[in-house]
Amino acid sequence: MLECRSLSVVYGKKISALKDVSLKVDQGEIVTVIGANGSGKTTLLKAISGVFRLDEGEVSFEGGALSGVPMHKIARLGIAHVPEGRRIFSRLTVLENLELGAYGQKKAILDKRLEEAYRIFPLLKERASQLGGTLSGGEQQMLAIARALMAEPKLLLLDEPSMGLAPVIVEKIYSTIKNISRQGLTILLVEQNAQISLSIAKRGYVLENGQIALSGLSGELLNNPLVQEAYLG
Amino acid sequence: MNPKKISLFFLLSGFVFLPPLFVNTPYAYIIRILGITGLYVVLALGLNLTLGLAGLFDLGFMAFYAIGAYTSAILSIHGWNFWAATAVAVAVTVFVRFLLGASVLRLRGDYLAIATLGFGEMTRIFFNNCDSLTNGPKGLPAVGQSMGLVQIYHFTFTDNLHFYYLILATAILGAVFSMRLENSRIGRAWTAIREDEIAAELTGVAVTKFKILAFSVSAVFAAVAGSIFVHWENFVTPESFTFWESVLVVSMIVVGGMTSIAGAVTGALLISALPQILQVVLGGTFIHYRYLIFGVALVLVIIFRPQGLVPSSRRQLELQRIED
CA-based nearest residue in chain A for residue B321: A134
CA distance A72 to chain B (A): 4
pLDDT band at B323 (very low <50, low <70, confident <90, very high): very low
Question: Which residues in chain A have Cβ-Cβ distances shorter than 8 Å to B314?
Answer: 91-92
For the beta carbon of residue A207, count every other beta carbon within 10 angstroms: 24
CA distance A136 to chain B (A): 14
Instruction: Look at residue A155 and give its three-state secondary structure.
Output: strand
Q: What is the pLDDT of residues B152-194, one digit of tens each?
A: 888 889 899 999 999 999 999 999 999 999 989 899 999 999 9
Instruction: Look at residue A8 and give its three-state secondary structure.
Output: strand
Q: What percent of chain B has pLDDT over 90?
A: 60
Q: What is the mean pLDDT of residues B9-34?
A: 89
Q: Do the beta carbons of residue A36 and residue A208 sit within 8 Å?
A: yes
Q: What is the mean pLDDT of residues B286-298?
A: 76
Q: What's the confidence (pLDDT) of residue A57?
A: 93
Interchain CB distance below 8 Å, B202 and A134: no
Q: What is the pLDDT of residues B73-91, one digit of tens each?
A: 999 999 999 999 999 999 9
Q: Do the beta carbons of residue A23 and residue A4 sit within 8 Å?
A: yes
Residues 6+ apart with CB under 8 A from B165: none
CA distance B195 to chain A (A): 6
Residue B284 reports pLDDT greater than 70: no
Q: What is the mean pLDDT of chain A?
A: 92
pLDDT band at B142 (very low <50, low <70, confident <90, very high): confident
Interchain CB distance below 8 Å, A131 and B205: no
CA distance A101 to chain B (A): 5
Interchain CB distance below 8 Å, B318 and A99: no
In chain B, how many domains are there?
1
Smallest Cβ distance to B189: which of A87, A103, A147?
A103
In a mutagenesis test of the A interface, which of B53, B184, B201, B203 is the best target, namely the one with the most A β-carbons within 10 Å? Answer: B203
Residue A226 reports pLDDT greater than 70: yes
Interchain CB distance below 8 Å, B192 and A151: no
Interchain CB distance below 8 Å, B188 and A75: no
Nearest to B61 by CA among B173, B208, B229, B219: B219
Between residues B219 and A227, which one has the greater pLDDT? B219
- Residue B241's domain spans which residues? 3-323
In a mutagenesis test of the B interface, which of A79, A81, A103, A143 is the best target, namely the one with the most B β-carbons within 10 Å? Answer: A103
CA distance B126 to chain A (A): 37
User: Is residue A88 less than 8 Å (CB to CB) from chain B?
Assistant: yes
Instruction: Look at residue A93 and give its three-state secondary structure.
Output: strand
Residue B319 reports pLDDT greater than 60: no
Q: What is the pLDDT of residues B102-131, one digit of tens each?
A: 999 988 888 999 999 999 999 999 999 999
Interchain CB distance below 8 Å, B204 and A81: no
* Most confident among A222-226, B25-29, B212-216, B272-276 (mean pLDDT): B212-216
Q: What's the confidence (pLDDT) of residue B104?
A: 92
Q: What's the confidence (pLDDT) of residue B324?
A: 43
Interchain CB distance below 8 Å, A76 and B318: no
CA distance A227 to chain B (A): 32
CA-based nearest residue in chain A for residue B204: A72
Interchain CB distance below 8 Å, A92 and B201: no
Q: What's the confidence (pLDDT) of residue B1?
A: 65
Residue B24 CA: distances (Å) to CA of B19, B20, B21: 11, 9, 8
Q: Do the beta carbons of residue B91 and residue B147 sit within 8 Å?
A: no
Residue A207 reports pLDDT greater than 90: yes
Interchain CB distance below 8 Å, A49 and B195: no
Residue B28 reports pLDDT greater than 80: yes
- CA atoms of A67 and B180, how far apart (whole Å): 37
Q: What's the confidence (pLDDT) of residue A189?
A: 96
Residue B293 reports pLDDT greater than 80: no
User: Is residue A151 less than 8 Å (CB to CB) from chain B?
Assistant: yes
Q: What's the confidence (pLDDT) of residue A233?
A: 63
- CA atoms of B324 and B180, how far apart (whole Å): 32
Question: Which residues in chain B have Cβ-Cβ distances shorter than 8 Å to A91?
Answer: 195, 314, 318
**B156: β partners:** B151
CATH code (residue B214)? 1.10.3470
Residue B65 reports pLDDT greater than 50: yes
Q: What is the pLDDT of residues A85-116, one digit of tens each?
A: 889 998 899 999 999 999 888 999 999 999 99
Q: Do the beta carbons of residue A215 and residue A206 sit within 8 Å?
A: yes
**A58: β partners:** A5
Interchain CB distance below 8 Å, B206 and A70: yes
Backbone dihedral angles phi then psi of residue A49, each to the nearest 5 degrees: -85, 0
Q: What's the confidence (pLDDT) of residue B144?
A: 83
Residues 6+ apart with CB under 8 A from A225: none
Interchain CB distance below 8 Å, B321 and A51: no
Segment 25-64 of chain A within 8 Å of chain B by CB: 49, 51
Question: Which residues in chain A have Cβ-Cβ distances shorter than 8 Å to B188?
Answer: 96, 99-100, 103
In a mutagenesis test of the B interface, which of A53, A72, A86, A147 is the best target, namely the one with the most B β-carbons within 10 Å? Answer: A72
Q: What is the DSSP string of A15-40?
A: EEEEEEEEEEE-TT-EEEEEE-TTSS
- CA atoms of B240 and B70, how far apart (whole Å): 11
Smallest Cβ distance to B203: which of A91, A101, A133?
A101
Interchain CB distance below 8 Å, A72 and B205: yes
Interchain CB distance below 8 Å, A71 and B317: no
Q: What is the mean pLDDT of chain B?
A: 89
Nearest to B47 by CA among B265, B209, B196: B265
Interchain CB distance below 8 Å, A90 and B195: yes
Segment 156-195 of chain A within 8 Å of chain B by CB: none
User: Is residue A219 less than 8 Å (CB to CB) from chain B?
Assistant: no
Q: What is the mean pLDDT of residues B67-71?
A: 97
Q: What is the pLDDT of residues A135-190, one digit of tens each?
A: 999 999 999 999 999 999 999 999 999 988 999 999 999 999 999 999 999 999 99
Q: What's the confidence (pLDDT) of residue B148?
A: 85
Q: What's the confidence (pLDDT) of residue B286?
A: 66
Q: What is the ipTM of this complex?
A: 0.83
In chain A, % helix, strand, coil (3-state, to 5) comes to 40, 30, 30
